[in-house]
Amino acid sequence: MFDTPKGACQLLVSSDPLAPAFPPRHNARTSVDPNAFARDLVRWFRRRGRDLPWRRHRDPYRVWISEIMLQQTRIETAIPYYQRFLRRFPNMRSFARAPLDRVLKIWEGLGYYARARNLHRAVSTLVHEHGGRFPETADDWESLPGVGAYSAAAIASIVNGEPVVAIDGNVRRVAARLRNAARVSDAEVEVLFSASMGPHEPGLFNQAVMELGQRVCFPRRPACAACPVRRHCAAFSAGTTERVPARKAGRPVPHYEIAVGVCRKAGRILVSRRREDAMLGGLWEFPGGKIRPGESPERALAREFAEEVGLRIAVGPKIVTVPHRYSHFSVNLHAYECRHAAGRPRALDCAEVRWVRPAELKKLAFPAANRRILQTLKGDRGWPKT
């Protein structure tokens, strides 16, 4: 923690033994006035902060939706989804009434679908068990499915005015550079910014720090010349902004070859729904799975159909290979035409299985790689054009 004299509140350069030895320049700062730092930051944010749709309200529902959508998602990507979501579900009750299929379809393309499932479950709980009342503290917000510590603090500070620091990667990076530290613990970040939050609106301050990390204090090549708080920054004074915080070594990304089949019978196509507890849970897909070492895609596909939906199939020509990258692995999705040979479809290793007409596919939510298969098939006779 910070060794500050009683009655004084200073942000000090880290003495963390894991921090690199970055000697400050002759005129480098070793401490900063938290009130002056906050004043400079908030003044900049009031003048230069982006006009984002969720910042125009303090409505708990809207702020909550935005914070969940912004998890692992760029602001520019989230905005149209946020606007479309609120047009379809303008309040908690309309959202709670919606079937999960409809929610996932609205969310389709935004990714990280557990967010949508958890949000739907949490809203339904508030509506049906708590009379539609919203949480009033960060701890209460964090008790809801899908609301982590950062989101809970952000929502509670903006909506409830609770003086709690919202901490994520952007905020940690800003704190590390202010202290010229290789790394900072969340406890240190909390002390650092709690001291500065002081007389300012907690939500405003949290958003200002986040905006600084997103738009100025980049992980690489930070825009120090445009930084409103560079006079308070120990890393800027020491000339070490490119070296702090210390970067973690990247991990190798696993890769998998996947075979899936577009199986047709009497003008219908077979689709299966992923289990709720699986990755991409609740979404629909073409049946299939991983190709084992030494196994051909065709043999893998026949095996997977038998294991997943209990069918024997005749594998036809390849339709397309779709490369796709997820957050922690990558795949090549090999799609094949298939014909039903024998058996009745059963949900053996999935949540549900259906024969659907091509026109029905556009009503179902599919993962991104499966949607690209659909795009390839659009030119086929009998397939939907939209």
pLDDT category of residue 6 using cuts at 50, 70 and 90 = very low
pTM of the model: 0.81
Residue 242 falls in the annotated catalytic set? no
Give yes or no: residues 31 and 157 share one domain: yes
Total of domains in the chain? 2
Residue-wise pLDDT for 293-311, tens only, equals 999 999 999 999 999 999 9
| Residue 352, beta-bridge partner list | 273
Average pLDDT over residues 347-370: 94
Q: Taking the C-alpha atoms of 22, 191, 38 and 220 in order, what is their torsion angle to the nearest 10 degrees? A: 40
Is 2 among the domain residues? Answer: no
Give yes or no: residues 50 and 181 share one domain: yes
Give yes or no: residues 96 and 147 share one domain: yes
- Among 67, 162, 190, 298, the active-site one is 67
Give yes or no: residues 227 and 266 share one domain: no
CA distances (Å), origin 200, targets 12, 37, 77, 134: 21, 12, 30, 24
Give yes or no: residues 268 and 202 share one domain: no
Is 38 among the domain residues? Answer: yes
Given a contact cutoff of 8 angstroms between Cβ atoms, the answer to whether 107 and 266 are in contact is no
pLDDT reported for residue 251: 84
Give yes or no: residues 297 and 264 share one domain: yes
Cα–chain-centroid distance for residue 294? 36
**Distance between CA atoms of residues 285 and 364, nearest Å:** 9
pLDDT reported for residue 383: 52
pLDDT reported for residue 119: 97
pLDDT reported for residue 277: 87
Range of the domain at 350: 255-377
**Mean pLDDT for all residues in the chain:** 89
Give yes or no: residues 359 and 315 share one domain: yes
Per residue in 324-338, is it b (16+ CB within 10 Å) or e — as a string?
Answer: eebeeeebbbbbbbb
pLDDT reported for residue 27: 39
Give yes or no: residues 195 and 66 share one domain: yes
pLDDT at 30 over 70: no
The answer for residues whose C-beta is within 8 angstroms of residue 49's C-beta and 6 or more apart is 55, 207, 208, 211
Give the closest residue to 378 by CA, choosing from 262, 240, 281, 272.
262
pLDDT reported for residue 7: 34
**Distance between CA atoms of residues 17 and 129, nearest Å:** 49
pLDDT at 384 over 90: no
Give the closest residue to 159 by CA, choosing from 133, 178, 129, 177.
133
pLDDT at 77 over 50: yes
**Residue 145: CATH number of its domain:** 1.10.340.30
% residues pLDDT > 70 (the chain):
89
pLDDT category of residue 334 using cuts at 50, 70 and 90 = very high
Give yes or no: residues 41 and 154 share one domain: yes
Peptide bond just before 80 cis, omega within 30 deg? no
pLDDT category of residue 327 using cuts at 50, 70 and 90 = confident
Residue-wise pLDDT for 196-249, tens only, equals 987 779 999 999 999 999 999 999 999 999 999 999 999 999 999 999 998 887
CA distances (Å), origin 362, targets 101, 111, 320, 385: 12, 17, 19, 9
Cα–chain-centroid distance for residue 339? 38
Q: CB neighbours (10 Å) of residue 384?
A: 14
Question: Which has the minimum average pLDDT: 28-42, 239-253, 359-373?
Answer: 28-42
